[in-house]
Amino acid sequence: MQREEMPVNVLFVGGGPANLAGAIRLMDLITGHNEAIEAGSKQGEAIQEPTIALLEKGSGIGSHQLSGAVLDPLALDELIPDWRTRDDFPLERMVERDEMVFLTGTGAIKAPWVPAEMHNHGKPIISLGLFCKWLAGIAEAKGVMMLPSFSGVDLLWDGDAVRGVRTGDKGVGPDGQPLDNFEPGMDLTAPITILGEGTRGHLSRKLIERRGLDKGRNPMAYEVGCKEIIELPAGSVTQGFAIHGLGYPLDMQTFGGWFCYSMAGDKACIGLLVACDAKDPMMDCHHLLQKLKTHPYIRKLLAGGKVVKYGAKTVTIGGWGSVPQLYTDGAMLVGDSASFLNPFRIKGIHLSMKSGMLAAEAAFEALVRGEASAAVLKRYQDALDASWVRQEMEFSKNFHAGFEGGIISGMIKTGLAYFFGPGSTIKPFSADFEHMKTLKAYYASGAQIEEKLEYDGKYIVDKLTDVFLSGTTHDEHQPAHLKIADTEVCATTCKEQFGNPCTKFCPAQVYNMVPNDETGRLEMRVDFSNCVHCKTCDIRDPYQQITWVPPQAGGGPEYGQM
């Protein structure tokens, strides 16, 4: 098949905060370099008409972005120092009330003391989707070529050096055969490819595996989070609040927590995060979020509220020990794809942005030298090791490992590490999926007693209603982008041992066990068009037989203000 080839100088894959910050930084460096040469204050050659491209699988920049989010503006201050005075900055509110709360079954205990690292007072509450859209506008104005509705499906190689990315074909039928509207993907070739695809990046995983970039590191670890935007009665939100909480509805074996932030107008958002290493095979983050909203403290906070938007995603919580080698010949890894999140603060946007900016500095150096070997791109790793990113992440390097023995021991270990330091070594932990217990081992009776919630379709909503509110669509005339190696395992071993956990942990009800028309046996049906691209199935499936691959680009959620 003849594929169009499009050569560019630097290719960013993924339109999240890491790559957008990187693209802006790179354009600033190139402009500064060219101006200095023209003014005669710098020796060397100008970088003539550079082509810097950014691929995004969503229909627009920001449409797949989801986070809390209270932004630590550390990296933004470096990148766009005047953001506070810009009229177009997409601010929801500034935090004026900052609290940490522990929920018991019916009560709430406000933490008397919160570590300084977790203070949010005076920080901006943002919608990550709108923030990315804003960054994209700035990058585009500086000359970055934005390519939304294009997904990277494969890496292009020159020996062991990355030489770009192949984008997905469009117009392929469910059987994999081309339809009348078939359009082959193109080969975007570049001496430097920067992968910032978010958590469990499809290409990032291929790169890490082929080049052994995770050798000697802990596996990446994740939490799945579900978030809703709640519309509240007119005039009820009068200040910017950021409330973080622990306890109900999670038990003392399951790591996670919740947040509730006010947003612009009369809106607030609420989210719950649960570790993907939860032992309970029936862990269902969406169900737990609805349960959280039934708590009297939350009911009072969100009184009269109506869910207007929903989304789900995974975040990386492995910390510094899970960060892979960040460079190889022709490529670098940034953002969530490289585990840049501080699990102690549950903050990662600032770390991701800084990683993108430092990768951009290495890319600039490579452009000037005309060489993008691993030896040149190692500059990124060195700069990151010397930066505040490493300093911040090193401090919480054993946070995740500390919780392997449960919540109480995790909190004690975290407290000791906070006051006496995290120790000199990185403690090992195993992959999330290895922690799931069988139904028999987790439930004394061998089966979960289904907990019923009263859905009112307004404040307590079922999963499918929430999927509708996420704006998710996929053209159904395409191959399923969730590949199950052997569906017989679903109907037999997995059903008996774990009770088909994917039917619970998937926050978009993609996986359903339905009776076979002829035999009546329960078998797996994959409703891939519901998928919100959170990757939980790829991470948490106990048999590791589900693989998420990019669907036809342009599909997926439409998160807007999320």
Only one of the segments 325-333, 372-380, 408-416, 505-513 lies at the binding site for ligand SF4 (rule: CB under 6 A); that segment is 505-513
Residue burial 339-368, b: 16+ Cβ < 10 Å; e: rest: bbbbbbbbbbbbbbbbbbbbbbbbbbbbbe
CA 180 from centroid of its chain's CA atoms: 35
Residue type, 179: L
| Residue closer to ligand SF4 (CB basis): 128 or 372 | 128
243 binds ligand SF4 (CB under 6 A): no
Please identify which residue in 535, 552, 557, 559 interacts with ligand SF4, judged by CB under 6 A. Answer: 535
Task: Enumerate residues 267-326 that contact ligand SF4 by CB under 6 A.
Answer: none
Is there binding between residue 533 and ligand SF4 (CB under 6 A)?
yes
Q: Contacts from 487-494 at CB under 8 Å and sequence distance 24+? A: 487/523, 487/524, 489/543, 489/545, 490/523, 490/524, 491/521, 491/522, 491/523, 491/524, 493/543, 494/542, 494/543
Give the footprint of ligand SF4 on residues 46-85 (CB under 6 A). none
Q: Shortest approach of ligand SF4 to residue 448 CB, angstroms?
A: 19
Site for ligand SF4 in 509-528 (CB under 6 A): 510
How far is residue 82's CA from residue 73's CA, in Å, rounded to a whole number?
12
Which span sits near ligand SF4 by CB under 6 A: 112-120, 202-210, 405-413, 535-543?
Answer: 535-543
Select 33 or 535, whichever has its Cβ closest to ligand SF4. Answer: 535
Query: Under the criterion CB under 6 A, does residue 506 sit at the interface with ligand SF4?
Result: yes
Number of residues that bind ligand SF4 (CB under 6 A): 13
398 sits near ligand SF4 (criterion: CB under 6 A):
no
Rounded CA separation 340/368 (Å): 28
Residue 147: strand pairing partners: 55
- Site string (432-471) toward ligand SF4, x via CB under 6 A: ----------------------------------------
At 190 the three-state DSSP class reads: coil
Of the two residues 269 and 506, which places its CB atom closer to ligand SF4 in the complex? 506
Q: How far apart are CA 547 and CA 554, in angstroms?
A: 20
The residue with tokens 């997995």 is 494
Q: Does 372 bind ligand SF4 (CB under 6 A)?
A: no
Q: Is 500 in the site for ligand SF4 (CB under 6 A)?
A: no
23 or 482: CB nearest ligand SF4: 482
Among 52, 229, 531, 553, binds ligand SF4 (CB under 6 A): 531
- Is there binding between residue 508 and ligand SF4 (CB under 6 A)? yes
Q: HEC states along 349-412? A: HHHHHHHHHHHHHHHHHHHHHCCCCHHHHHHHHHHHHCCHHHHHHHHCCCHHHHHHHCHHHHHH
Question: Which residue's entry shows tokens 């449409």?
Answer: 63
The site string for ligand SF4 over 469-498 (x = CB under 6 A, - otherwise) reads: -------------x----------------
Nearest-angstrom CA–CA distance, 19 and 26: 10
Contact 271, 228 (CB under 8 A): yes
Binding site for ligand SF4 (CB under 6 A): 482, 506-508, 510, 531-537, 548
